[in-house]
Structure 1
Amino acid sequence: MAQEKSAQAAPQQREEGDPNRWKALAVCLVAGFMTLLDVSIVNVALPSIRTGLDTPESDLQWVLSGYALAFGLLLIPAGRLGDARGRRSVFMAGLALFTLASASCGAAQTSLWLVISRLVQGMAGGLLSPQISALIQQMFQGRERGRAFGVFGTVVGISTAVGPLLGGLLIQTAGAEEGWRWVFYVNLPIGIVCLFLARRLLPDTPDAKPVRLRRLDPVGVLLLGTAVLALLLPFVQSQQWHGNAKYLLVLVAAALLAVFAGWERRCARSGAEPLIDLDLLRVRSYWLGSLLILLYFAGFTSIFFVSTLYLQSGLHYTALQAGLAITPFAVGSGVSAGIGGRLVDRFGRPLVVLGLTMVALGLAGTAFAVHQVPGRGAGWAMLAPLLLAGLGSGLVIAPNQTLTLSEVPVRRAGSAGGTLQTGQRVGSAIGIAAVGSVFFAQVTEEGWATAYDHGLLVSIAFVVAALVVAVADVVAGRRSAARG
C-alpha cells in the first residue's frame, strides 16, 4: 500500500513541479521586459540626447545599432553558457551588468561614453535573454509550458507597445533637457529588485558544469561581429567620412563573411559547435525565412528611429506627443500577432505575404500623409497608415518564426532559433544604419519632411525585399508540392 501511494505521489509531484515556478517566471518576465523595452524606449529620447550631449548623427545611430548588434551577437553563445554553467548564475550576471550599464548610460557626459555604455548594455541583454526561454522549459511541463510561453509572448508585445509612451512620459515629467537620463535610470530599481528575487526564486541548473571556451565559438563571434561592423561603418559614418573610399569596407565585410563561413564549416567538421549551423541553410524554408526576417527587421525597426526624429526635431512635438503618434504601429502589431499565430497553420506563407503587403502599403501611406497634411498635423495623419502597417507586422514576425522552424530537425531547434534571433538583431542594426545615413543626408533647416520621405523609402525597400523572398518561398513550395 505504501509503495502504491508513493507511485501515485511521484507523478503528481512531477506535474506540480517547483512551487515557486510562477513567481520565478514573473522575475524572468520583468527582466526580459526591461531588456526589450530598451530597444523601443530610447527612440523618443534621441532628440533630447542630441541636444543634451551635442551628439552627432552617427553617434545617435550607434546608440540604437550598437545595442542591437551587441545583443544579437551574444544570443547563441550566451544560451550555451547558461546550459553549461547554470542558467540562474548567467541570468543574474547579465541582469547585474545590464543594471550597471543602465546607470552608466544615464550618467553619460559625452556621446562616446553613452555609445560604449549602450554596447555593454546590449551585451548584457544578450546574456540574459536566452536564459528566459531556457528557464521556462526547465520549470514548466505540458500545458503549463505553453501558458508560460504565451505570457512571455504577450510581454514581448507589450514592451514594444509601451516603449515610446513610457519614454515620452519620463521625458515629459523630468524635462526635455535631462529627461532622457531617466529612460535609463528607470532600470536601476527594477534591476536591483529582480536580482534579489532571482537569487531566491530561480532554480539552478542540475547538470551545470565547467564549459570550454571553444564551445562558445569566440572566433566565430569575432568574425561575424567584425564583418557586420565593417558593413555598418560606411553608412553610419557617411556624414563624417567624405568621399567614396569608405564603401570599400563593404568589400572587406564580404571577405570577412566568407572567412566566417569557412571557419564555421571547419568547426562543424572538427566536432566543435559552430556559432551558426550552416547545414541549416540547406533547408529551403529555413534559409528563406531567416533572410526574410533579417530584411524585415531592417525595414520596420528603422521606422521608429526616423519617425521620432522627424516628429520631435522637424515638427517640434514633445517626446510624449511623438510617442503617442507612433504607438498605433505597436498596438496594431500586438492585436494582430495573436491572430497570426492562430491562422498560420491554416494559411502558411501566404499569410506572411499578406502581412508584408500591408506593412509596405501602410508605410507608403505614411509618406503620402506627411505630404498631404504638412506641418504639425502630420502626426494625426500618420495614425491610420501606421496602424495598417502595425496590423500587417503582427502577421509577419510570429508566423514567420513558426514557418521557418517547421522543417528544422528537433535536435537543431535551439541552434536554429538562436540564429533566427541573431538575424533579427543584425537586421535591425543594418536597417538603422542604412535608413539613418539617407535620412541625415537629406536633413536641412526646411527639409525634415523630405528627409523623412527618403528614410521611409529605404524602409519600404527593405520590406518589399522581404516580400519578394516570401513570394519566392510560396512559389517554391507550390512547385515542390506539384512535383510530390
Structure 2
Amino acid sequence: MLAVVLAALFMALLDVFIVNVAAPTIGTELHASGAELQLVVAGYTITYSVLLITGARLGDRFGHGRVHLAGMALFTAASLACGLAQGATELIAFRLIQGAGSAVMIPQVLSLIQRNFVGEARVKALGAYSAVLAVGAAAGQILGGVLVSADLLGTGWRPVFLVNVPVGAVLLIIGRRVLPRERGGEPERGRGMDLPGLVLLGAAVSLFTVPLVLGQEEDWPLWSWLSLGTAAVLFAVFWRYESGLARRGGDPLIAPRVLRHPGMGLAVLRILAAMAVNGGFLFVLTLHVQGGLGYSALRAGLTFAPTAVVFGVVGLTWRRWPAAWQRALAPTGFLLTAVAVAGVGLALDGGGDGGVWVYVSYAGVGVGLALAFSPTLTRALATVRPEDAADASGLLATVTQLGQLTGVAAFGTLFLNRLESLGALEAYTSAEALSACMFALAGTAALGAVSGLVLRRR
C-alpha cells in the first residue's frame, strides 16, 4: 500500500516541475503566447493548491482509498489528454484538470499513512513520505530534461505528460487490490463539507496563488497586489469563521485543535521556510544555467541530481542517527542550507561552471533541506490523532505548496529584477543576479532556524 501511494505522490509532484524544462519546446511547437505558456506551467499549480483541502475532506467523508483511486484516474486521464493536445488552449484546460486530480489524490496519502501505520512503522512511513515529497521537485526537472532531449519518436515535449499514463494505469490496477476499501461500499462515516468554510478558503488560496504564479510575467500590476491583500483578509475571515463554528459545536473545514496541536505551529513555519528556499533555489538556478550558461535541457535537469539524490538518502536515514541529535536536526539543517546556498553563489560567481565545489554545495543543499524538512514534517504528524489525519494532511500539503510558490515568486522576481538592472543577459550578469538570490536564500534559511527556536521558547 505504501509503495502505491508514494509512487502516486511522486508522479503527481513531478508534474509541478517537469513542465518547466519543457516549456520552451511547448511554446515553439504550439505557437503559444507568453501568457498562454505561463498558464500551461501554472494552471496545474493553481487548481492543485486551491483544491487540496477539499480533497482531504472528500477522503475523510467517502473513504481515503476510494478517493485516492478516483483522483488517480482523473490525473491519468488528464495526463493522456495533455500529451495529445493540439493547441495551447486545450493544453491549459487539461492542465487545470490534471491539477484537480492531484488535489484529490495527494491528501489521501498522508491520511492513509496516519490510519494504517502505528508507532515506529508510522515514523518510517512519514520519513519516506517527506523524502518523496521534496525529491519530486528536483527529480521533475531532471526527468523533464531527459525526456525533452530524448525527443522520443519525434514527439518532442509530449512524453513529459504521456509518461504518467502507463504508470498511472499500473497504480490503479494494483491500488484496487491493496488500498483499504470501506465496508459495504458505503461512504465513510465522516463529517460535513462545511461549504461556507470551503468557499472562503478556496477564494483566499486562489487570490494568493494566482498573482504568485502570474505576477512576474505581468510585471506585478496593481491587480496582483490587490489580490494578495484581499487574500490576507479572507484568510483572517476564514480563521474567525472556523473558530466560531468549532465553538458552536459545528464541523469546521480545518479543526482549530489541529493548529493548536503541540509543535504544529512551529512545523507550519519551518515547512513554509524550507519549501520557499527549495522552490526559489531550483527556480533561479534553472534560469541561470539555461539562460546564462546556455545549458541544454538535459544538462540543466542533471544539474539537480546531487541535490535530489542526497535529499532522498538523508530523508530516509535520519531516523537512524543518534537520539541525542534528533531535536537539533531541523535548526542544523537550516543553518547548513544557508551555508550551502551561499556556497553555490560563490562557486558560480563570475560566470564559470563552479568546478567541483559547486557540486559539493549542491549536495550540501540536499542534506540541509532534508534535515530542515523531513524531521519537521514527521514529528508534526506522528502524534496527530487518526480522526484529525485528513485536516492535518490537507493543511501541511497546502502549506508545502504555498511555500514553494512563495519562494519561486519572491526569489524569481529578485533574480529577474537584478538581471534587468545589470543589462544584457550574459554568463557574468546572470551570475551576479544568481549570487544576490543565493545570499537572500541563505538569509531566509537562517531565519528558519532562528524563528523556530524563538517560537518554541514562547
| TM-score normalised over the length of structure 2 | 0.83
Distance change (3 Å), C-alpha of 1:239 and 1:88: closer
| Corresponding residue of 2:266 | 288
Q: Does residue 195 in structure 1 map to residue 176 in structure 2?
A: no
Match of 2:446 among 467, 477, 481: 467
Asked if 1 retains the 8 angstrom alpha-carbon contact of 2:38 and 2:217, the reply is no
User: Structure 1 CA distance, aligned partners of 2:296 and 2:244?
Assistant: 53
Alignment RMSD (CA, Å): 3.6
| Corresponding residue of 1:425 | 401
Q: Does residue 169 in structure 1 map to residue 146 in structure 2?
A: yes
Distance change (3 Å), C-alpha of 1:43 and 1:349: farther
Tell me which amino acid in the other structure corresponds to 1:204.
Answer: R
Match of 2:255 among 277, 280, 288: 277
1:119-158 → structure 2 map (5 Å cutoff): 119-136=96-113, 156=133
Q: Does residue 308 in structure 1 map to residue 286 in structure 2?
A: yes
Match of 2:51 among 59, 74, 91: 74
1:71-110 → structure 2 map (5 Å cutoff): 71-110=48-87
Distance change (3 Å), C-alpha of 1:457 and 1:211: farther
User: Structure 2 CA distance, aligned partners of 1:151 and 1:382?
Assistant: 27
Q: Does residue 220 in structure 1 map to residue 170 in structure 2?
A: no
Distance change (3 Å), C-alpha of 1:347 and 1:141: closer
| Corresponding residue of 2:360 | 384
Q: Does residue 402 in structure 1 map to residue 378 in structure 2?
A: yes
Distance change (3 Å), C-alpha of 1:358 and 1:131: same
Q: For 2:235, what is the secondary structure of its paired residue?
A: helix
Tell me which amino acid in the other structure corresponds to 2:283.
Answer: F
Shift, 1:297, TM fit: 0.9
Runs of 5+ consecutive residues of structure 1 not aligned to the other structure: 1-23
User: Structure 2 CA distance, aligned partners of 1:453 and 1:438?
Assistant: 12
Runs of 5+ consecutive residues of structure 2 not aligned to the other structure: none
| Corresponding residue of 1:229 | 206
Asked if 1 retains the 8 angstrom alpha-carbon contact of 2:74 and 2:101, the reply is yes
Distance change (3 Å), C-alpha of 1:434 and 1:143: closer
User: Structure 2 CA distance, aligned partners of 1:272 and 1:457?
Assistant: 49
Count of residues in Structure 1 that have an aligned counterpart in Structure 2: 454
Shift, 1:409, TM fit: 6.3
Shift, 1:35, TM fit: 1.5
Shift, 1:296, TM fit: 2.0
Distance change (3 Å), C-alpha of 1:32 and 1:403: closer
Distance change (3 Å), C-alpha of 1:107 and 1:412: same
Tell me which amino acid in the other structure corresponds to 2:240.
Answer: G
Shift, 1:171, TM fit: 1.3
| Corresponding residue of 2:245 | 267
User: Structure 1 CA distance, aligned partners of 2:323 and 2:382?
Assistant: 10
Distance change (3 Å), C-alpha of 1:82 and 1:413: closer
Shift, 1:460, TM fit: 5.4
% identity of equivalent residues: 37
Q: For 1:395, what is the secondary structure of its paired residue?
A: helix
| Corresponding residue of 2:318 | 340
Asked if 2 retains the 8 angstrom alpha-carbon contact of 1:291 and 1:466, the reply is no
Once the two structures are superposed, what CA deviation does each residue of 1:206-252 show, in whole Å capped at 9, x if it has no partner? 27644799823343343233323333444523443575564233322
| Corresponding residue of 1:437 | 413
| Bigger shift: residues 114-123 or 59-68 | 59-68
Q: Does residue 258 in structure 1 map to residue 236 in structure 2?
A: yes
Asked if 1 retains the 8 angstrom alpha-carbon contact of 2:25 and 2:157, the reply is yes
